[in-house]
Amino acid sequence: YIHLVAGTHAAFKSAVESAVVRFAKTASAFVLDLRDGMGGADPSFIDVFLKRDSPHAFKGKVVVLINGGTRSGKEWLAHLLKKEGRAILVGKRTAGAFVGGKLFAVSDPAFVLYLAVRPGPDLGGVVLEGSGVEPDIEVADPLVYAAGGDPALDRAIAEATL
């Protein structure tokens, strides 16, 4: 299990790759948590799951956790893993916030304005902006009422062990 909080720095990519390489020979499944956190990330973050001919590739089952806090580049990752048939997506539909943005300074230095200003990458006619990525297995995200539990993670682990 690894929670990818953001895919905006090489250190995050390295952490995912290191975890996969470390456990690739002994683990039969891997749970990748893309819920919440920051957006960002490009397909190279999941090469270890998609490029099966790589010596460091993880060839076992992949289960990905998504929710309404999964946005931007992490939606792209979820979409690619689902499209390639490489992962089972568990949780709630992603945010549908795929358009790239830019920060603008405003007169008060304590604030910035973030505006969507550039389209996301071409996904072969699939539009994630405004629609998101649908999970294969929908699990509510009622953490407030879950008595400290995580029903989506529990379901992902159950799927991983099937």
Compute the distance between CA of residue 112 and CA of residue 92 in angstroms, rounded to an integer.
30
Give the tokens for residue 115.
């505006």
CA 152/CA 141 separation, integer angstroms? 7
Question: Who wins on pLDDT, 162 or 124?
Answer: 162
**Per-residue pLDDT tens for 94-142?**
998 877 777 788 888 888 887 777 666 667 777 777 888 999 999 987 6
Three-state DSSP state, 129:
coil
Closest CA to 77 of 2, 14, 4: 4
Phi first, then psi: what are they for 83, rounded to 5°? -60, -40
Question: For residue range 48-93, what is the model confidence (pLDDT) as tens digits?
Answer: 888 777 777 888 899 999 999 998 889 989 999 999 999 999 999 9
- If we measure between CA atoms, which residue out of 71, 136, 68 comes closest to residue 98? 71
Sheet containing strand 137-138, edge to edge, reads 2-3, 29-33, 61-66, 88-91, 137-138
